[in-house]
Structure 1
Amino acid sequence: MPSDSPEPARPALTAGRRAFLGLLAAPALASLPRGATAQGMPEWLAELKTEWAVFRGRFVTREGRVLDSGKGDESHTEGQGFGMLFAAEAGDAVSFDKMLDWTRRYLRHSRGNLHAWRYRGDAVDPVSDRNNATDGDIMIAWALMRGADLFARPALAREAALICRDILTHCTREVAGKLVLLPGMQGFEKRDHVVLNPSYYIFPALLEFEKIVPGPQWRRLVADGMEICCNSARFGRWSLPADWIEFYREPSFQPRMASSWPTRFSWDAVRVPLYLAWARQSDNPALKACVDFWHAPGQRTLPAWADLRSNTLAPYPGHAGVQAVANLARASRDRNRRMQELPRVAQATDYYGASLILLSRIAWQEARAGAPIV
């Protein structure tokens, strides 16, 4: 599908987004340097553009494929969505269009509006698994929404709405009186339980989807997700969310850590406090538990992961992306606290760490804008 325009100008913002950006500029909420550049651009936006340029140079091909450098330069819908979101926020319409066009061409399902989750450039069949990853589809739809607003291209919002409707149809289920978000269309529904990934609940995105697909289902999905993944399903001595959990069809059964995955708070679950902070859920118990774990008295480094069954820690520290999320989570718990300097994309050892750094940077600008949005 061709792009609407090769290089659209940045439009006047909608009233809601204009108000949002005005809140971001409130002096009482300042943390990261927010002066104006010589060109009158807010310093945070100038920094975001610079950081995005580094990310683009390291991980985005000329064709618009985002490379997961930690997994043999595979590409995923998660990465395509991240890249499109970063490009939209940085005002880079050319890169946005390239990533969107590549995603449509290689990952979009021929029937429906969801996407195959992985592309392997070195394989005979680069897209051998047509199952989707729900978090990737959510991120793509969210990036399209923001592109529609920032680039004044309503067709992108209509495309996002089609994805959102398919997410509701194919990736949500009623289980034990809760509306749950399946990680994909296939493979996660068992006889007596469903398998869930708490980090796939991108809370701020799910709430924004109500604007393009009206209805109560989004807020219910968020409320039930927070109840399951952030209140009920926390484990180990630190009471942390796990990467993967099992949620049972029998209402009296409590969620458990998934038996087919490591029982860890690790590379997936690190996004739970990120999305909670982004949704301004400063009092959420899962967010508090993560802050307490990362910033325990006497702890010199941030562990890369914690095993929630054995209560043991990784023997090596988390990378710069974990540091970024930990800084964001701690600052979001206390509005009087200044955000510690976030790591730079150049400090990230791989694509995922760089993504967490940029996500944390955008989340902080938005999360400090006001009251909780749930």
Structure 2
Amino acid sequence: MNYFPKVAAICTILALNGCSWDDSANSVEKPEKKSWQSSTSISVINNDNVQFVSSLPESTPNRELLVESWDSYRRRFIQRDGRVIDYEASDRSTSEGQAYAMLRAVLIDDSATFALTLNWGENNLRRLEDGKPVDSLWAWKWGRKSDGSWGSIDDNFASDGDIDAITALILASRRWNRPEYLELAKTKLKDLWKYSTVVAQDKRYLLPGPKAAFVKDSSSIILNPSYFAPYAFRLFAQVDSERDWLSLVDSSYEVLEDSRRISAVNLPSDWVVLDAKTGEYKSLPNDSLLSSAYSFDAFRVWWRIALDASWFNSSRARNYLESSIGHPLKLWQEKSTIPARINLEGKALVNYEATSQYAMLYAASRLIQPSLAEELLEKKLLPQYQQEVWDDNEAYYTQNLAWLGLLSPSAIPPKLLQSN
């Protein structure tokens, strides 16, 4: 399979920023049938006919809102065959979108929607060559091609989507006693390790995608801090003893802790460059199509690290949050607003806000500053929820981050996080 490094890197950031490039949300075609079909045994149910009943504990904060918004998301954004549609980006589908749906489905105990979205991903996003899978990872982008047909547009993978999908598979195997989900997760773990990690200075790092795209030369490695999911790597270690997934926990925190130094206010960046020879971190050049600003990718760092603190009682996670989240919370206390993009000097790059950022900050601040978290909820998150959606009914990225940020970690049954 041929890879084009610059294109792969550009595509990956566009996928994760949830950028709006096209407003064509009204004409959505059904997926083409593929010559190859997944060998995973999955029972598919028409999503329109599924009566969803949540099993979230009654004590879960914002329970009714979470149940309602998930049911609304299923109806608005998930096609009957399981395809998750990003209306803000030419009705495309992405590995990220399928994985978010799977993760949300297992967290709220919706086995039917989980099976639908997994099945669609396996049958439409697998990376093929001559009609045969080259690995078990998912192509990141699927949509309308230049000739008008629908199919995979970019066969490169974005590792965050695969990480979230594998995490969901492991949790689903435990929640619903589905061993085939665990076997699929293990298959994907082998390929994720092989194709999306690299060793530098005797340490292994998670890459955002194919090596050809992100290992530019013998010394420069492009990394995305928002892809690092220590809680997921701990789960991976529980089910795959052949690979040292806990080493990725250590390297993830190393990158997060050290790369924030390129910011005058200790913020994580969307993208950073690791000098593999010196171990130093640098921002990307100003003329790069990738940015080292704090923006829509970096928001997710707060949520991912908060999960590690909550699910696995990680002191390193809590320490990172306490020492890194200060600037945006200070902006909130001083101005009651936080810009959606902030440069390395801590200055606003735009004059608009992002509901997705407030949701991710809420997930982290409820652990370290609960009273401030409550302010974010009451003033920025609940008011933006109208008619069963956040912001507007095409805001795919916002729906996912808002929901994931609001879901209390305590709503997760402990057995899902424990190895059998």
Give the TM-score category using the shorter length: 0.7 to 0.9
Match 1:152 to one of 177, 201, 216: 177
Change (3 A) 1:362 1:234: farther
Instruction: Output aligned runs, 1:171-190, within 5 Å.
Output: 171-185=196-210, 186-190=212-216
Q: Are 1:300 and 2:325 an aligned pair?
A: no
Q: For the Cα contact (< 8 Å) 1:301–1:317, is it kept in 2?
A: no
Deviation, structure 1 residue 257: 1.4
Deviation, structure 1 residue 175: 0.9
How big is each residue's C-alpha offset from its partner over 1:71-91, in whole Å with a ceiling of 9 and x where there is no partner?
Answer: 222111111000011112222
Change (3 A) 1:367 1:104: closer
How many correspondences in the alignment?
339
Q: Are 1:333 and 2:360 an aligned pair?
A: no
How big is each residue's C-alpha offset from its partner over 1:161-202, in whole Å with a ceiling of 9 and x where there is no partner?
Answer: 111111111111111232111111231111121111111112
Distance 2:349 2:409 in 1: 27
Distance 2:358 2:158 in 1: 26
How big is each residue's C-alpha offset from its partner over 1:260-307, in whole Å with a ceiling of 9 and x where there is no partner?
Answer: 212310000111111111111553335532243234331221210101
Distance 2:62 2:292 in 1: 38
TM-score, scaled relative to structure 2: 0.73
Distance 1:183 1:243 in 2: 11
Match of 2:8 in 1: none
Matched residue type, 1:365: S
Matched residue type, 1:264: A
Match of 1:205 in 2: 232
Moved more, 112-121 or 289-298: 289-298
Matched residue type, 2:178: R
Change (3 A) 1:215 1:292: farther
Moved more, 136-145 or 314-323: 314-323
Matched residue type, 2:251: D
CA RMSD of aligned residues (A): 2.8
Percent of matched pairs sharing the same residue = 26
In the alignment, structure 1 segments of 5+ residues that lack a partner are 8-20, 26-33, 36-41
Q: Are 1:271 and 2:300 an aligned pair?
A: yes
Match of 1:196 in 2: 223
Match 1:113 to one of 136, 143, 161: 136
Match of 1:101 in 2: 119
Q: For the Cα contact (< 8 Å) 2:270–2:293, is it kept in 1?
A: yes
Q: For the Cα contact (< 8 Å) 1:172–1:181, is it kept in 2?
A: yes
SS of structure 2 residue aligned to 1:111: strand
Matched residue type, 2:213: G
Q: Are 1:362 and 2:398 an aligned pair?
A: no
Matched residue type, 1:140: A
Change (3 A) 1:299 1:176: farther
Deviation, structure 1 residue 122: 5.0
How big is each residue's C-alpha offset from its partner over 1:50-102, in whole Å with a ceiling of 9 and x where there is no partner?
Answer: 22112222221112111223322211111100001111222222211111111
In the alignment, structure 2 segments of 5+ residues that lack a partner are 1-37, 46-54, 128-132, 310-315
Q: For the Cα contact (< 8 Å) 1:144–1:156, is it kept in 2?
A: yes
TM-score, scaled relative to structure 1: 0.82
Distance 2:368 2:135 in 1: 40
How big is each residue's C-alpha offset from its partner over 1:206-226, in whole Å with a ceiling of 9 and x where there is no partner?
Answer: 211112112562111011111
Match 2:284 to one of 243, 250, 258: 258
Change (3 A) 1:248 1:336: same
Q: For the Cα contact (< 8 Å) 1:4–1:153, is it kept in 2?
A: no
Change (3 A) 1:288 1:58: farther
Match 2:253 to one of 226, 239, 242: 226
Distance 2:279 2:65 in 1: 48
Q: For the Cα contact (< 8 Å) 1:80–1:103, is it kept in 2?
A: yes
